[in-house]
Amino acid sequence: MENQELIEQVTEKAEKWLTPAYDAETQAEVKRMLENDDKTELIEAFYKDLEFGTGGLRGIMGVGSNRMNIYTVGAATQGLSNYLKKNFKDLSQISVVVGHDCRNNSRLFAETSANIFSANGIKVYLFDDMRPTPEMSFAIRHLGCQSGIILTASHNPKEYNGYKAYWDDGAQVLAPHDKGIIDEVNAIASAADIKFQGNPDLIQIIGEDIDKVYLDMVKTVSIDPEAIARHKDMKIVYTPIHGTGMMLIPRALKMWGFENVFTVPEQMIKDGNFPTVVSPNPENAEALSMAVNLAKEIDADLVMASDPDADRVGIACKDDKGEWVLINGNQTCMMYLYYILTQYKQLGKIKGGEFCVKTIVTTELIKKIADKNNIEMLDCYTGFKWIAREIRLREGKQKYIGGGEESYGFLAEDFVRDKDAVSACCLIAEVAAWAKDNGKSLYQLLLDIYVEYGFSKEFTVNVVKPGKSGAEEIKAMMENFRANPPKELGGSKVILSKDYKTLKQTDDKGNVIAIDMPESSNVLQYFTEDGSKVSVRPSGTEPKIKFYMEVQGAMGCRNCYASAESAAMEKIEAVKKSLGI
């Protein structure tokens, strides 16, 4: 039996899309859905509005209020325009940057947005073609704009597209502006409220002019050009997985001095269908398989892959047996910071006041590296907008020298305010050259870090609970952890519990102190006597609860990696048992 009430609701909503405010093609598609006896498609397209959240929009492309199309994108842009005009009313000319990735409809959505901004009297700098997200972030600051948007769904499947909004500091929007923009977007009642008719005089096409300045700035991130010069013929394989990285990353590597960069030809083709991969996500081994195959053929030193909007990078290198292995996000973050800190120290560049940033679920091992080098390490929430916030708060007072997260994002510079695969690809290649200079491979460098600072193994478990009952189960699980926090994990006593919802932390003696964070978040963390850390949080976008586990161990020598890994996995199994997962 179909839910008649829901069908009536979506029918009423869909019929509003049969007015002249919507184009003929859209109206025809809505009519087709309305006339179809099977109402599944109609319900999916109209049962709710695609929500403009704190990260902007993300959804499946198609016709309807719950889909990415020129009308939902248009409402987001009109709402953002209205907010900018209120917020910067004293400026004689408000300006924005508009960028996009390789996805289907990304150019259409970018041009539609440019027209709407300009129709609202806002000057638009529109990129002539797809560009990496970090370059768009750079352009906001470089051009002195008040905001910027990028049309991208990052590493989501091909059916998706997205819309991310940025503020005048080049970072994704934070409070109070995020809520302010959401209110304005929600106030757009229909397509009739959107000014689609652009003003060409207010739209300026940008491209190579920004590429050049940005790439020159990225070149300044290089710390040891001599090491690169000595190993300029090091073989590097790079793939953009059909995305924006192809526009700049091979060129950036060449500018840094790497002369032997091979690209995966089949994946150097701009294609929003991502035909050569199951998912364009460099966290997945499968997305790097073509690059690794090419690396085996040519006996390369390093493999790198950037995601479609080139803000994240996945890498692979050879282990001591000559087998290709993937390096995870925690490990790359660790190598970046280890390299930067070691080099800064050696070159006498540490003057005091330097700081690094990591997210609360990223490995604690990088805090050990920072502590040992007397560098302040800050913790922030997941997402680069929080890392950007820490940079902004310390601007002009302290020097930012790097920050990253376990989900394959790293930022080595402060002239960009989002994770940057362009500088990260060049920097990891420089780290590999420096390791070679010191008679070791990138893999051996990773092992040496473990020997010096202790071994750490990170492991994430996603417990999926679909549907309404699943959401209630997840809520109950979080409530139960709050009411009955674990006393031990994997046989080791819990000595500190953090609740980011109440912003209170409690030690094993019952002492409670406040946690200094900008806002609350539904995350729980437990730290044990033996150095293990467990973070628990419900996913904001999917019906699941995530458990991030990190266990510490010792590694006496390079050859002890396998035994350290196996001991860590045993400990993780014991922690899972303690958590009941």
Contact 108, 98 (CB under 8 A): no
**Cα 143 to chain center, whole Å?**
24
Say which amino acid occupies 5.
Answer: E
The Cα 332–Cα 362 span in angstroms is 11
Q: What DSSP letter does each residue of 193-238 carry, written as one string?
A: GS-----GGGEEEESHHHHHHHHHHHHTT-S-HHHHHHTTT--EEE
357, β-bridge pairs: 378, 403
Residues near 135 by beta carbon (within 8 Å), at least 6 away in sequence: 99, 210, 211, 214, 248, 416, 422
The answer to whether the beta carbons of residues 234 and 301 sit under 8 Å apart is yes
3-state DSSP of 15-69? HHHHCCCCCHHHHHHHHHHHHCCCCHHHHHHHCCCCCCECCEEEEEECCCCCCEC
The amino acid occupying position 188 is I
User: In angstroms, rounded to a whole number, what is the distance separating the alpha carbons of residues 539 and 202?
Assistant: 40
At residue 401, what are phi and psi to the nearest 5 degrees? Answer: -125, 10
Which is nearest to 500 in space by CA: 472, 474, 487, 481?
Answer: 481
Give the integer Cα–Cα distance in Å for 508 and 479. 20
Burial 27-43 (b: 16+ CB within 10 A, else e): bebbeebbeeeebeebb
Alpha-carbon distance 330 to 404, whole Å? 8
Q: CA torsion angle for 46, 52, 54, 59 (degrees, to 10)? A: 50
Can you tell me the distance from the alpha carbon of 327 to that of 16, in angstroms, rounded to the nearest whole number? 51
Orientation of helix 421-437 relative to helix 329-346, angle to 10°: 60
Distance CA 151, CA 139 (A): 15
- Choose, from 95, 113, 137, 154, the residue flagged as catalytic: 154
User: Is residue 119 within 8 Å of residue 195, measured between CB atoms?
Assistant: yes
Q: How many CB atoms lie within 10 A of CB 559?
A: 10
Token output for 436: 């070679």
Q: State yes or no: is 492 an active-site residue.
A: no
Residue identified by tokens 């970072």 is: 171
> Are the CB atoms for 295 and 316 separated by under 8 Å?
yes
Instruction: Let me know: does 438 contact 342? Beta carbons within 8 Å.
Output: no
User: For residue 552, what are its two tokens?
Assistant: 């510490």
Helix (H, G, I), strand (E, B) or coil at 95: strand
The CA distance from 262 to 429, in Å, is 13
Question: What residues are labeled active site?
Answer: 154
